[in-house]
Amino acid sequence: MKGSPFILLFLMLSISVVLVSIKRSSVSLYATSLNNAFISYDLMNAPGLSEKSLVESLNVKLDEANDKWVEDYNKKAGDVSECYTEQCVLFPENSKAITGKTDIAQFYSQKYPNVSKVKTVQVKKRFIETPTLIYEVGTLITDKQEMYPYMVSWNGSKGTWQRELEATAKKTTSYNDSVQIDAAREKWMQLCNAHNHQQLVKSLYLKDAYYYNKGRVLQGWESLFTEYKYMSQPSYQLSLKPISVLMVQPDLAYEVGKCSGSYGGHYMLVWEKQKDGEWKVSLDSNY
């Protein structure tokens, strides 16, 4: 997790929570940064628009972006390159990070012959982080009713919404291990707020865990030791509040939540259960 005064200054001049229903699914889109900069953003710059209208407009734009992903995957044999930013990163199941839209498209093209066509995107929640960044969690459903839960961060900085960070895997379980994940998260906060960042990393992150932040991809304990040094500051305090936790497989879960304290933005975590039953982080991301 990252604490940044710049981000804190940028976030949330006014806080509003808006629930919007759209035709394909019921989506909770939490408008947590609807300020003047957001209202003037070029996709939603019509004068007099209310916050609700802005959120509805955003939902339409993101639904269209999801529709394009499905159409390209089905009609172009997995070539979804146009749906991703240049610096995008994909975290598929049982694989290392895949970087760049060309390699991501190649991954999906190789997967295409063995996976039935995607029928729909079922969005669960969306969270506005900045004028050009929105988090989304949901499930891809194939025509054979196979389910692929996912987390995505959308980047709209170039006028169209594209996927910047994505994690997805086939759902194989309905088992809920949230109690153990809650315990791991609580331990994370205890070590963080005790200013023991190295013990935090050693205890709760895989040795090859990733950290993604604004296009930077760091991997491994040593990189995280350096990145998380700010946690050693005596005044640093952080709380994590999960908003959506998706159990994907018996040993895999996705989490999107909200920080409070020294950093007030959203976060994304991929949890992996170890052979000893402990849950550890394989991907940590925030902005």
Q: What is the pLDDT of residues 24-64, one digit of tens each?
A: 443 444 443 333 223 223 333 334 456 778 888 899 999 99
d(CA 111, CA 109): 5
- 55 contacts: CB under 8 Å, gap ≥ 6: 18, 20, 29, 31, 34, 128
Do 130 and 88 fall within a single domain?
Answer: yes
Q: Do 187 and 55 fall into the same domain?
A: no
pLDDT of residue 44: 34
Same domain, 140 and 261: no
Neighbours of 25 (CB within 10 A): 15
**Would you state the pLDDT for residue 46?**
36
Across 63-72, average pLDDT:
97
Q: Span 13-20, mean pLDDT?
A: 32
Nearest Cα to Cα of residue 7 among 225, 187, 214, 275 = 214
Confidence (pLDDT) at 54 = 80
Q: How far apart are alpha carbons 63 and 191 in whole angstroms?
A: 39
Percent of the chain scoring above 70 in pLDDT: 82
Q: What is the CATH number of the domain that holds 144?
A: 3.10.450.50
Cα–Cα distance for residue pair 27/148, rounded to 1 Å? 18
Identify whether 234 is part of a domain: yes
284 vs 20: which has the higher pLDDT = 284
pTM of the model: 0.83
| Residue-wise pLDDT tens digits, 175-204 | 999 999 999 999 999 999 999 999 999 999
**Which of 168, 195, 229 represents a domain boundary (last residue)?**
168
| Residue 117 CB partners (closer than 8 Å, separation 6+) | 73, 74, 142, 143
Which among 146, 168, 190 is the end of a domain?
168
